[in-house]
Chain A
Amino acid sequence: MTEEAIEPRRIYDDVNDTPTSYRREPAEAHPPLDYPPYKSTAFRHPKQPLIYLPQTATEVTGPRLGEGELGELDNDLTRQHEGEPIGERIVVSGRLFDTEGKPLRGTLVEIWQANAAGRYLHRWDNWPAPLDPNFSGAGRCLTDDEGRYQFTTVKPGPYPWGNHYNAWRPAHIHFSLMGRAFAQRLVTQMYFPGDPFFPYDPIFNSVRDPAAQQRMVANFEIHDTVPNWAAAYRFDIYLRGPGSTPFEEAH
Chain B
Amino acid sequence: MIFATTPSQTVGPYFAIGLPWPSGPSAVPEGTPGTIWIAGSVYDGQGEVVPDHLLEFWQADPDGRFADLYGYGGSSELEGFRGFARYGVEDGDGSFEILTVKPGPVPGPADSVQAPHVAVSVFARGMLNRCVTRIYFADEGEANAADPVLNSVPEGRRSTLLAQPEDGGYRFDVHLQGPQETVFFTL
Contacts and interface: CB of A to CB of B under 8 A. Distances in A.
Given A44-B45, A46-B131, A61-B66, A56 B107 contact: yes
Give the secondary structure class of B's interface.
loop
Contacts of A187: 8-11, 123, 130
Given A35-B128, A45-B126, A61-B69, 6 more contacts: A38-B126, A41-B128, A44-B44, A139-B18, A176-B18, A186-B8
A31 B16 CA distance: 23
A54 B111 CA distance: 13
Contacts of A8: 107-110
Nearest to B42: A44
Contacts of A122: 13-14, 16-17, 90
B124 interface: yes
B107 A5 contact: yes
Nearest to A63: B84
A57 B3 contact: no
A125 interface: yes
Given A6-B73, A138-B18, A203 B183 contact: no
Contacts of B127: 33, 41, 44-45
B41 interface: no
A4 interface: yes
A216 B9 CA distance: 9
B74 to A, nearest CB: 4
A85 interface: no
A176 B77 CA distance: 28
Given A38-B128, A122-B13, A138-B17, A65 B84 contact: yes
B103 to A, nearest CB: 9
Interface string A166-191: 00000000101000101101111100
Given A32-B128, A44-B44, A44-B50, A51 B152 contact: yes
A126 B10 CA distance: 20
A53 B134 CA distance: 10
A241 B5 CA distance: 9
